A and B are shown apart, each in its own frame.
Chain A
Amino acid sequence: MPTLHFDQPDGSRTTVDAPVGISLMEAARQHAIPGIVALCGGACACATCHVYVDASWFATLEPPEEMELGMLESAAEPRVGSRLSCQVPVTAALDGLTVSVPRCQAG
């Protein structure tokens, strides 16, 4: 199973193993990663699973669709690397992926 790292604004890191096929958000939620609330459960309707994907990984992901881009534009603290984690499927290629939780969502 691919290994994923979730970094918090306070510098703490949680590392989890996630099965291929679920979303990054589901992996985070199953492990109760702080700041990834994911209220809509992956419907791309709430932007409460917003994360920053590390620059080295960002380009390797399938680009976001229009709906996700629209959500991200007005999400809290958007920046380069912003993604809704519910829209990123876990694949074998993502082994070692690091994402950060935005400060305003954490805690």
Chain B
Amino acid sequence: MISTIVIIGAGQAGAQAIDTLRREGYQGRLILVGDEPHLPYQRPPLSKKFLSGELPMERLPFRHQSFYDEHGVELKLGTRAGELDPTARRVTLSTGEKLDYDRLLLCLGADSRRLTCPGADLPGVHYLRSIADVPVIQEGLKPGARVVIIGGGYIGLETAATARKMGCTVHVLEMADRLMNRVVAANVSEYFAHEHRTQGVHIVCNTRVLRLEGLGRVERVVCADGTIYPADLLVAGVGAVANMRLAADAGLACDNGIVVDEHCRTSDPAIYAAGDCTYHPSLRFDMRVRLESVDNAFEQAKTAAQNMQGRSVVHDRVPWFWSDQFDNKLLIVGLSQGHDQQVTRGDPATRSFTVCYLKGGELLAVEAINQAKDYMAARKLIAERARPDLDKLADPNVPLKDCC
């Protein structure tokens, strides 16, 4: 009999698990532990409308306190899970409180990868991951302020766009030869570099940060080629690492994340995991992945919540992602690794185009720039392993849904 479920991590996955558990009839004790002092909230706006001040704090949480009260959820916020004993099925919190569970769900998320260069520990080096990170960055986003962003990925570029809109002088320093190089095609990188430059952001690729310097706080970034970038504000967005120490210390299998199976179950049958912290099988793409996305957190949490109640549901979804930069919306669906063909639909000069990836003739992934129709069509087609006609695919006048 499952009478106590403990969820560690009060983000997207933790909030969704509560929803699914109660909706599907779980009536036992339900405890949500979160290390931040906030009700579960949306993280994507932190680099966008919340950073710019357009979205007020009260609109960030998924649900109000009353939802948790009505659903009988014991919230233990501002509390860290310190130790996990899978044999005793017990979690010890930072407050010293011990929680016994029948099923445990780990939604530990990911944390910003830290810079390691000399000077990285100087005050004034900021990362953007949670609400607590925002005020100090906001304070620095004044018109004319010199903002240096290390890392030309999603977080770096979204932050750059927000800073630029607020009137800052912005430099983005990227080590690779192009922006978002791990996640998008070369022509998509080129498009976004052009968009940022048009808006006045200085994009510098192929540059390696040698060290950070300053008296008492970071004041400048020194690059390997000798260039020095003065910084009133420095934000680093150089990737993320899974939060898995709690699981690893408890002896659960971990490898780039907490290892789970297609049921979102860890190596301990009473413990499940969901979201950014998991290293999980993607059935559609036939590989193990760790994904940082709202969609994956939601879907895995739902699956885990169902399985914790004795069902046998398989997590088998095509992942999707999005990014807002200035007035551009980048929509990505699928995983492009292993593709053997790439087709671009439309002309980037029109500010709306789509890059399609194929493998053995099957549609594998799509990057749609300001192109909702192709994106929505691709979500279905990729799941169905559709095989598009290449001539039609290359013709933007043929709707993607009619290419197969």
User: Is A20 part of the contact surface with B, judged by Cβ < 8 Å?
Assistant: no
Q: How far is the CA of A39 from the CA of B62 in the complex (A)?
A: 10
Question: Is the Cβ of A67 less than 8 Å from the Cβ of B376?
Answer: no
The reply to whether the CB of B331 lies closer than 8 angstroms to some CB of chain A is yes
The answer to whether B376 and A43 have CB atoms under 8 Å apart is: no
B329 pairs with A73, CB closer than 8 A: no
Which chain B residue has the least Cβ–Cβ distance from A19? B58
A63 an interface residue at 8 Å Cβ cutoff?
A: no
Contacts of B294 in A (CB 8 A): 39-41
A39 to B45, CA, bound (A): 12
Is B229's beta carbon under 8 Å from chain A? no
Q: Is A97 an interface residue (CB 8 A)?
A: no
- Chain B nearest CB: distance from A85 CB in Å? 15
Complex contacts, B311 vs chain A, CB 8 Å: none
* Any B CB within 8 A of the CB of A34: yes
B298 contacts partner chain A, Cβ-Cβ < 8 Å: yes
Query: Is A70 in contact with B372, judged by CB distance below 8 angstroms?
Result: yes
**Given known contacts A70-B376, A74-B377, is B63 in contact with A29 (CB within 8 Å)?**
yes
Interface string of A26-49 (1 = CB under 8 A from B): 100111101001011101111100
Bound complex: CA A88 to CA B44 (Å):
20
A94 in contact (CB, < 8 A): no
Name the residue on A nearest B64 (C-beta).
A30
Q: Which one of B42, B295, B370, B377 lies within 8 Å of A46 (CB-CB)?
A: B295
Task: Give the residues in chain B near A29, CB-CB below 8 Å.
Answer: 62-63
Q: Is the CB of A34 within 8 A of B298?
A: no
Cα distance A26–B324 in the bound complex, in angstroms: 19
Whether A74 and B59, one on each chain, are in contact in the complex, defined by CB atoms closer than 8 angstroms, is no
User: How far apart sit A73 and B322, CA to CA, in the bound complex (Å)?
Assistant: 19
Q: Beta-carbon contacts of A4-42 to B below 8 Å, as 1s and 0s?
A: 000000000000000000100010011110100101110
Chain A's closest residue to B400 (CB) is A74
Bound form: Cα–Cα A66–B62 in Å: 27
- Complex formed: what's the CA distance from A67 to B369 in Å? 11
Contact A43 B320 (CB under 8 A): no
List chain B residues, Cβ under 8 A from A73.
Answer: 372-373, 376
> What string of 1s and 0s marks CB contacts (under 8 Å) between B38-49 and chain A?
000010110000
Q: Which residues of A contact B329 (CB under 8 A)?
A: 43-45, 67
A67 contact set on B, CB distance < 8 A: 329, 370, 372
Q: How far is the CB of B84 from chain A (nearest CB, A)?
A: 29
* Contact between A40 and B44, CB atoms less than 8 A apart: yes
A30 lies within 8 A of B331 (CB): no
Q: How far is the CA of A34 from the CA of B24 in the complex (A)?
A: 12
Closest to B62 in A: A29
A67, B374: Cα distance in complex, Å: 11
Other-chain contact of A71, B62, B372, B380 (Cβ < 8 Å): B372
Query: Could you list 14 further interchain pairs (A-B, Cβ under 8 angstroms) beyond the known A34-B23, A40-B322?
Result: A30-B67, A32-B19, A41-B45, A43-B322, A43-B329, A44-B372, A45-B320, A46-B295, A67-B329, A67-B372, A69-B372, A70-B375, A74-B373, A74-B380
Going nearest first, the 8 A-B pairs with the smallest beta carbon separation are A70-B372, A74-B376, A45-B322, A70-B373, A71-B372, A41-B42, A74-B377, A67-B372
**A and B contact pairs by CB, cutoff 8 A, 13 listed:** A30-B67, A39-B295, A41-B294, A46-B295, A47-B376, A66-B372, A69-B372, A70-B371, A73-B373, A73-B376, A74-B373, A74-B377, A74-B379
Residues of A at the B interface (CB closer than 8 Å) are 22, 26, 29-32, 34, 37, 39-41, 43-47, 66-71, 73-75
Q: B: which residues have CB within 8 A of A?
A: 19, 23, 42, 44-45, 59, 62-64, 67, 294-295, 298, 320, 322, 324, 329, 331, 370-373, 375-377, 379-380, 401
